[in-house]
Chain A
């Protein structure tokens, strides 16, 4: 129709517009959950288990109930009457079903498990009263190690399950056994990340209001996926979905921790309905560290069959993940993606995996930016080990095994199709930027002076936007589609909404660009309304890296629908037979005459006025109004790629790691707002570096969480982190609207691998290889002691 949206000719997208969100957030006018006050609200506080595994014999709430200003004290028994039990039983091969109540009535399963909830008129007094609740526990043997949890006779987290091995999935290509057995050489590598926590700087919390007159529940909560959350909440409370509204205010970060309906939030909602009064809960940091979803903690072993040149002829993966005690997500959900996309940019035809997920007496796991974080480290660390064992250059081994950029689409051994990526170009561009040959010379020369430099390279193929076909194929219930609407009001103002919700990604800005592009208006004139389930269309929420492609892409499509209707009206008003040759620019109808664009007198506001207030002038048969709702289901999977280069200097006597340079080459397709995308990339890379160098949730041997204070859970600060240079070799995706691909997690995947490989490279004279995180000075000193 018009030429305005040729991919080379974007007017609104691809521009670094400063963010609309910033004004309120920079001036202290943001409105986060805890900033909202509701008249007559009560404050809740949870009593948590000091045991990691114990039967609950009795709970005496009498003293707490008698404490000043206490309104109610409830336990799992009360909640069982008000809520349903959640059964997680998707029809996935190898995954066992599991059930979860609102609060445990039978036994506690980890240190921090909530057992009772106090509601008082004041938060300080609720906390005082929580100390008066007396719980009679009978301690059980805990099991806090995933390998021990798989042994015969291990204490069971779920007795009825009969095992702690909640998920076991395997895969193999036809010839893998033969390839491994007949290989000239098999290189074995291991990798392990500890337990981590997403650690948004804003903790969890919620406010629930019950309207007795309308029998309606409104819940304010920081959440990445408001509609699926509403469905879950209504179901668990035995309410109709129309009786529940979820409103998400500004969110102080999520990183995967704000997706599921937590038991605490369900409890608060049930209490608001029971008491017929608003109830609020703000988690303190200790609760966040003990009891908000954890992530990672896995052990991985690869075995690579190679020939003398370093060509990989077959690869096997064993992965064990410690999922903790509760399943807010299907237990196989995170680990399986690692196994499915492991081979990434490499042409490895024969492949097998064995993935086990185990329950233990720890806080339950969930996703954390990126759920498949370990993937690239495992693959690229394996390649480096091959190079080391065969005495080859690691870059040569990569080049030898990589799928050529012009050979995409490429079908991985697991059947996944990757397309529109260029890992070869990203690798070469980065090598050039870093000055690879020169680096090796410097490295060599500096070693003579006791300076141990290392370079780590990590190619990443990031699965970004999951379409419904992917879910179906993986046997996971749910959908990858997204829904959006764009409405032009009678006055000509433009509003738009989608089902995704931002937790800092700047959707109000980037989505206004997508709508502006599709509609032909200025992004400043588009208001994005997200996070209220009564306003936004039912969507799947923000997770993975789907926000841009699924959210932005769907909004773009809805906006083009509005433009088409507006231009059809314009043609009629201008007395033209057809809208061909009409387009919209900055809210004004223009005629394309040859290659010239001529403005008409007609504006979008004129068209809107006609559409709503003067419908007899519309083309025959056209509905009044000017709004379009669209749903869009992305391809089964979109992929972005990148290549990370991390240069370090390791101080051998102290084990300190200094990052001296960090370069990343990105291909995440066309982007809505380059500055926002860069912000996501920087944030992701630092999250990966922080995890690799510092982060670890520590349970002692008996299962007590030792990292209940932020001072104990180390994360990167500004002085620990390098400046990151970002280069681009972007190519668009051919199948998504506007060529979007998505990103936001690849940075984590890449930096984990790059830093680990860099430290191993630095320590290669000592034969030490990083196999565990965090790469702390004490761990490095220990490794070096063992080797020297």
Chain B
């Protein structure tokens, strides 16, 4: 299959990519653009580790061909930060609540839940667990991630602002 040239916009920057049309977006982000925070755990859309935002919506980068993402704004974990350039409230809460162990699932979870909290500032625990069920984590048992999302939501709403 011949390679074709196209342009991807990732984290606000344009990147020229020369790749086969069958190249997955997850592979292009990691290999051609060199942003390796987006992880690949299954390449079948099941584990959620590869989740990125495409035009603000969480999508599994392993289910999209890179060339299909031309002209759209892609956001990856590398672009998630707090206002001061440090942790976002969610990253901070995951850090405090021990919401990650090996960290392999973490970028997908951060990207997914950041987008979710923007739309849903006051989710119930059940809501959080339902949304999180699209991301597999084999290490934490999920409980500490759920706690962290709750804590981040509280802080983003302006409650419980104390940072440990």
A311 to B164, CA, bound (A): 52
Determine the residue in chain A with the shortest Cβ distance to B3: A122
Say if the beta carbon of A717 comes within 8 Å of chain B: yes
Which of chain A's residues 658-680 have a Cβ closer than 8 Å to chain B?
675-676, 678-679
Interface size on B, residues (CB 8 A): 57
- Given A35-B36, A503-B102; A724-B143 close (CB under 8 Å): yes
Q: Cβ of A679 and Cβ of B102 under 8 Å apart?
A: no
User: Which of A202, A251, A679 has a CB less than 8 Å from the CB of B140?
Assistant: A679
Say if the beta carbon of B47 comes within 8 Å of chain A: yes
Q: Cβ of A26 and Cβ of B44 under 8 Å apart?
A: no
Contact residues of A: prevailing secondary structure: loop
Determine the residue in chain B with the shortest Cβ distance to A726: B143
Say if the beta carbon of B110 comes within 8 Å of chain A: yes
Q: Cβ of B35 and Cβ of A717 under 8 Å apart?
A: no
Q: Which stretch in A236-244, A444-452, A707-715 binds the other chain?
A: A707-715
Which of chain B's residues 20-46 have a Cβ closer than 8 Å to chain A?
20, 22-23, 30, 35-44, 46
User: Which of B77, B96, B104, B139 has a CB less than 8 Å from the CB of A32?
Assistant: B104
User: Which of A124, A503, A682, A720 has a CB less than 8 Å from the CB of B144?
Assistant: A682
A516 to B138, CA, bound (A): 30
Determine the residue in chain B with the shortest Cβ distance to A21: B103
Q: Cβ of B145 and Cβ of A718 under 8 Å apart?
A: yes
Say if the beta carbon of A14 comes within 8 Å of chain B: no
User: Which of B23, B30, B105, B164 has a CB less than 8 Å from the CB of A34?
Assistant: B30
User: Which of B22, B80, B130, B143 has a CB less than 8 Å from the CB of A723?
Assistant: B143
Say if the beta carbon of A504 comes within 8 Å of chain B: yes
User: Which of B39, B80, B96, B136 has a CB less than 8 Å from the CB of A715?
Assistant: B136
Chain A residues positioned under 8 Å from B141 (CB to CB)? 682-687, 721, 724
Say if the beta carbon of B100 comes within 8 Å of chain A: yes
User: Which of B22, B39, B128 has a CB less than 8 Å from the CB of A124?
Assistant: B22
Say if the beta carbon of B146 comes within 8 Å of chain A: yes
- Given A34-B40, A720-B133, A721-B143; A27-B81 close (CB under 8 Å): yes
User: Which of A29, A203, A505, A719 has a CB less than 8 Å from the CB of B130?
Assistant: A719
User: Which of A28, A503, A506 has a CB less than 8 Å from the CB of B38?
Assistant: A28
Which of chain B's residues 72-99 have a Cβ closer than 8 Å to chain A?
76-78, 80-81, 87, 91, 94-96, 98
Chain A residues positioned under 8 Å from B110 (CB to CB)? 26
Q: Cβ of B95 and Cβ of A683 under 8 Å apart?
A: no
User: Which of A684, A710, A718 has a CB less than 8 Å from the CB of B46?
Assistant: A710
Say if the beta carbon of B58 comes within 8 Å of chain A: no
Chain A residues positioned under 8 Å from B144 (CB to CB)? 679, 682
Q: Kindly provide the distance from the CB of A508 to the nearest chain B CB, expressed in whole angstroms.
A: 12
Chain A residues positioned under 8 Å from B68 (CB to CB)? none
Over the window 106-133 of chain B, the binary record of Cβ atoms lying under 8 Å from chain A Cβ atoms (1 yes, 0 no) is 1100100000000000000010111011
Q: Kindly provide the distance from the CB of B105 to the nearest chain A CB, expressed in whole angstroms.
A: 5
Q: Kindly provide the distance from the CB of B82 to the nearest chain A CB, expressed in whole angstroms.
A: 11
Q: Kindly provide the distance from the CB of A667 to the nearest chain B CB, expressed in whole angstroms.
A: 20
Say if the beta carbon of B142 comes within 8 Å of chain A: yes
Say if the beta carbon of A264 comes within 8 Å of chain B: no
Q: Kindly provide the distance from the CB of A383 to the nearest chain B CB, expressed in whole angstroms.
A: 26
- Given A26-B91, A683-B101, A683-B141; A717-B106 close (CB under 8 Å): no
Say if the beta carbon of A174 comes within 8 Å of chain B: no
Q: Cβ of A201 and Cβ of B138 under 8 Å apart?
A: yes
Chain A residues positioned under 8 Å from B126 (CB to CB)? 719
Q: Cβ of B133 and Cβ of A683 under 8 Å apart?
A: no
Which of chain A's residues 13-40 have a Cβ closer than 8 Å to chain B?
18-19, 21-23, 25-32, 34-35
Determine the residue in chain A with the shortest Cβ distance to B23: A124
Q: Cβ of B95 and Cβ of A718 under 8 Å apart?
A: no
A743 to B107, CA, bound (A): 27
- Given A30-B103, A201-B104, A718-B129; A19-B98 close (CB under 8 Å): yes
Q: Kindly provide the distance from the CB of B40 to the nearest chain A CB, expressed in whole angstroms.
A: 7
- Given A202-B102, A285-B43, A675-B98; A718-B133 close (CB under 8 Å): yes
Chain A residues positioned under 8 Å from B140 (CB to CB)? 679, 682-683, 686
- Given A504-B103, A682-B141, A687-B138; A27-B91 close (CB under 8 Å): yes
Q: Cβ of B39 and Cβ of A252 under 8 Å apart?
A: yes
Q: Cβ of A32 and Cβ of B142 under 8 Å apart?
A: no
Q: Cβ of A202 and Cβ of B146 under 8 Å apart?
A: no
Contact residues of B: prevailing secondary structure: loop
Q: Cβ of A25 and Cβ of B44 under 8 Å apart?
A: no
Determine the residue in chain A with the shortest Cβ distance to B94: A26
Determine the residue in chain A with the shortest Cβ distance to B95: A22
Q: Kindly provide the distance from the CB of B45 to the nearest chain A CB, expressed in whole angstroms.
A: 8
Which of chain A's residues 206-247 have a Cβ closer than 8 Å to chain B?
none
Chain A residues positioned under 8 Å from B81 (CB to CB)? 27
A284 to B132, CA, bound (A): 23
Q: Cβ of B102 and Cβ of A251 under 8 Å apart?
A: yes
Which of chain A's residues 499-534 have a Cβ closer than 8 Å to chain B?
503-506
User: Which of A29, A32, A199 has a CB less than 8 Å from the CB of B138?
Assistant: A199
Q: Cβ of A26 and Cβ of B100 under 8 Å apart?
A: yes
- Given A252-B39, A719-B132; A676-B98 close (CB under 8 Å): yes
Determine the residue in chain A with the shortest Cβ distance to B101: A504
Say if the beta carbon of A322 comes within 8 Å of chain B: no
Number of contact residues on A: which range applies?
Answer: 35 or more
A255 to B141, CA, bound (A): 14
Q: Cβ of A18 and Cβ of B95 under 8 Å apart?
A: yes
Which of A18, A25, A29, A504 has the most chain B CB atoms inside 10 A of its CB?
A: A25
Q: Cβ of A22 and Cβ of B94 under 8 Å apart?
A: yes
Chain A residues positioned under 8 Å from B91 (CB to CB)? 26-27
A505 to B128, CA, bound (A): 25
A31 to B95, CA, bound (A): 18
Say if the beta carbon of B153 comes within 8 Å of chain A: no
User: Which of A28, A686, A687, A724 has a CB less than 8 Å from the CB of B78?
Assistant: A28
Determine the residue in chain B with the shortest Cβ distance to A504: B102
Determine the residue in chain B with the shortest Cβ distance to A676: B98
Chain A residues positioned under 8 Å from B78 (CB to CB)? 27-29
Q: Cβ of A683 and Cβ of B100 under 8 Å apart?
A: no
Q: Kindly provide the distance from the CB of B76 to the nearest chain A CB, expressed in whole angstroms.
A: 7
Say if the beta carbon of A544 comes within 8 Å of chain B: no
Determine the residue in chain B with the shortest Cβ distance to A722: B143
Q: Cβ of A203 and Cβ of B77 under 8 Å apart?
A: no
Determine the residue in chain B with the shortest Cβ distance to A25: B103
A505 to B100, CA, bound (A): 10
Q: Cβ of A201 and Cβ of B36 under 8 Å apart?
A: no
User: Which of B20, B23, B100 has a CB less than 8 Å from the CB of A25?
Assistant: B100
Q: Kindly provide the distance from the CB of A121 to the nearest chain B CB, expressed in whole angstroms.
A: 13
User: Which of B42, B100, B133 has a CB less than 8 Å from the CB of A719?
Assistant: B133
Say if the beta carbon of B137 comes within 8 Å of chain A: yes
Chain A residues positioned under 8 Å from B102 (CB to CB)? 200-202, 250-253, 503-504
A32 to B144, CA, bound (A): 23
Determine the residue in chain B with the shortest Cβ distance to A24: B103
Q: Kindly provide the distance from the CB of B97 to the nearest chain A CB, expressed in whole angstroms.
A: 9
Say if the beta carbon of B152 comes within 8 Å of chain A: no
Q: Kindly provide the distance from the CB of A369 to the nearest chain B CB, expressed in whole angstroms.
A: 10
A30 to B129, CA, bound (A): 26
User: Which of A27, A685, A711 has a CB less than 8 Å from the CB of B80?
Assistant: A27
| 11 pairs, CB–CB < 8 Å, chain A vs chain B | A18-B98, A27-B91, A30-B103, A32-B104, A201-B137, A504-B103, A504-B104, A506-B101, A683-B141, A718-B129, A719-B133
A-B residue pairs, 8 tightest by C-beta: A28-B37, A504-B102, A252-B104, A25-B103, A686-B141, A28-B77, A35-B36, A504-B101
Given contacts A23-B95, A28-B38, 20 further A-B contacts (CB under 8 A): A18-B98, A19-B95, A27-B87, A28-B80, A29-B37, A34-B30, A35-B30, A252-B39, A285-B44, A679-B98, A682-B141, A685-B141, A686-B142, A687-B141, A709-B46, A715-B136, A717-B134, A718-B135, A718-B146, A719-B133
